[in-house]
Amino acid sequence: MRILFVCLGNICRSPTAEGVLRQQLERAGLADRVEVASAGTGDWHVGKGPDSRTCRAALARGYDLSKQRAQQVKPEHFTRYDLILAMDSSNLQDLKALRPGTASAELDLFLRRNDAPLDEVPDPYYGGADGFEQVLDLIEGACQSLLVEIKGRV
Ligand code: 4NP
């Protein structure tokens, strides 16, 4: 199974989701059965590592995001991945507009699919440190629920 997380810049929310899910998959012994990646709808940060505030907040909870590099969503992602999960509804709208006719991936809003207290992961980029903690709280919770779905599918 292949899963792609998508946000706007691919330096805050979706790299966090990639790192959190990868660690949960490793702990569940499923790391070799599921490919996890992330991408942004925008191209501003392509090739760069995640935002330093994102890396710091994630590392404090045991997730090392330092090896990740930002990429932009590409048409071939819609056939490579089984599930593409958007962090907010604007990302989902952009993905629907980019989706080629040949797309096989299922598109969904990450939190709505996974019984979270909110429907969207708020963009922390222009806010304070609390925003990065909220991103981690929401993503850790939703990844636990996603892991249950994955276990039923692989
Ligand atoms: P992300 O956050 O979509 O969670 O990676 C953002 C990162 C950068 C920008 C916006 C959102 N930006 O405008 O550069």
Does the annotation mark 123 as catalytic?
yes
CA of 123 to the centre of ligand 1 (A): 7
pLDDT of residue 53: 98
How many angstroms separate the alpha carbon of residue 121 from the centre of ligand 1?
A: 12
Cβ of 11 less than 6 Å from ligand 1 = yes
| pLDDT on residue 80 | 98
Note if 7 is an active site residue. Answer: yes
pLDDT of residue 68: 98
pLDDT score, position 115: 84
Q: How confident is the model at residue 46 (pLDDT cuts 50, 70, 90)?
A: very high
Of 109, 123, 37, the closest CA to residue 80 belongs to 37
List all residues 6 or more positions away from 23 whose beta carbon is below 8 Å from its beta carbon.
62, 63
Among 7, 12, 55, 143, which one carries the catalytic annotation? Answer: 7
Chain CA centroid to CA 99, Å: 18
Q: Give the predicted TM-score (pTM) of the model.
A: 0.98
Task: State the closest ligand 1 atom to the C-alpha of 13, by its place in the atom list counted from 1.
Answer: 4
Quick: pLDDT tens for 85-107. 999 999 999 999 999 999 999 99
Residue 128, helix vs strand vs coil: coil
Average pLDDT, rounded, for the chain: 98
CA 39 to mean position of chain CA atoms: 8
Ligand 1: does its nearest atom lie under 6 Å from the Cβ of 94? no
CA dist 68 → 53, 141, 149 (Å): 14, 22, 25
Q: Is 24 a residue whose pLDDT tops 90?
A: yes
* Residue bearing tokens 């997730």: 63
Query: Residue 84 gets which letter from DSSP?
Result: E
10's torsion region: left (phi>0), alpha (psi -120 to 50) or beta?
A: left
Kindly state if the Cβ of 8 falls inside 6 Å of ligand 1: yes
Name residue, tokens 């939703």.
142
SS3 107: strand
Domains, the chain, ordered by start: 2-153 (3.40.50.2300)
Q: Model confidence at 71, in pLDDT bands (50, 70, 90)?
A: very high
> 39 to each of 70, 119, 130, how far by Cα in Å?
6, 20, 23
